[in-house]
Structure 1
Amino acid sequence: MVAGDFNLIADMSDKSNDRINRRMMGRFRRCITDLDLHELYLNGRRYTWSNKRTEPTLEKLDRALVSVDWEALYPSSFLSALSTNISDHCPLHLVLEANLKRGRRFHFESFWTKVDGFQEVVQAAWSSQPWIRNPFKRLVAKLKATAKQLAKWSNKYVGNVKQQIRIANEVILHLDIAMEGRALTQAEVDLRRLLKRKLLGLASLERTISRQ
């Protein structure tokens, strides 16, 4: 992807040096967020382009951006990069139905630290492992246990923020329409008030995720 003289990257880690146009990078990230897209993880490669010089500049210019609906349709998809061959770009190879017997890659979200319960989950998981004499093996065991518990906690208590916002807005809309023709029951009034409070927190989380 090229715009003018600038290659479009989404993050500072997408380039091997610090010669970065931050304004273009920010605009590209905002575009991805506005379109509600998600980048598929690229297995096996960090960069996909090289300027082929003696001390090359490496960048990740090639990526696969998909919607939430697409991910739900192809949950076992697998993206990898092929040889550059005669090009300066790596062709991307996307398998829609990859039969891979492996766990889902753990991805830490920075907004988790602002959610109630995060500290307790980390503390409990970190101290749950039995004593291992080898300090390196002990550290690996603690990290694995913490990652596993954080993933479970996120799925149960955090979930898909955008989906929760859509559901809450849909319920509020139905209650708003009902309120035009009749008086809401007390249970409906309480539910509407609760959903509006929840939306404030969810909207704050969504902004944090977008900034990340």
Structure 2
Amino acid sequence: MMNIDLKGEKFTWFINPRNGFVTREMLDRVLVNWEWRRLYQNATLTALLVIGSNHYPLVLRLEPKEKFERHFKYEAYWEDHEDCEKIIKQGWENNENKRNKWEKLQEKFKSCKKELEQWSKKTFTRADKKINQLKEEITKLQNQEFSEQQQEMIKDLN
């Protein structure tokens, strides 16, 4: 049996500090045999952020991450913004000279999509980026020596 190397964190478990002392260990592992490893050569094991537990969740990925094409999604919350209607009209009125009505309609949709995407990036903060930033802060705090103040900061960030 062999251990799959852990990406990210060095530890999979910790105990809250008592008397200012923190214990961190690598308790959780994924063991495989050579046959399995040969079949899944791209397998990776990653420790995620600890939230609400003292065990780091482990994720085993058998295939490498693939890039995927993002599809346009109209967000309902855009309608609450005072500029949304103006942006849609602006995109709709950008019209190239196309021969038939179908091509004109397709161009209008593409133009609206482009305008909305650019406007959204400038206007709205992305929650996923903020969440990732907070996770990084939690990880930094968890990798330092614990203090009561740090525990409170981790609690607040969670």
- Higher fraction of helix: 1
TM-score (norm 2): 0.39
TM-score (norm 1): 0.29
- Higher fraction of strand: 2
Using CA pairs below 8 Å that are at least 6 residues apart, which structure has the higher relative contact order? Answer: 2
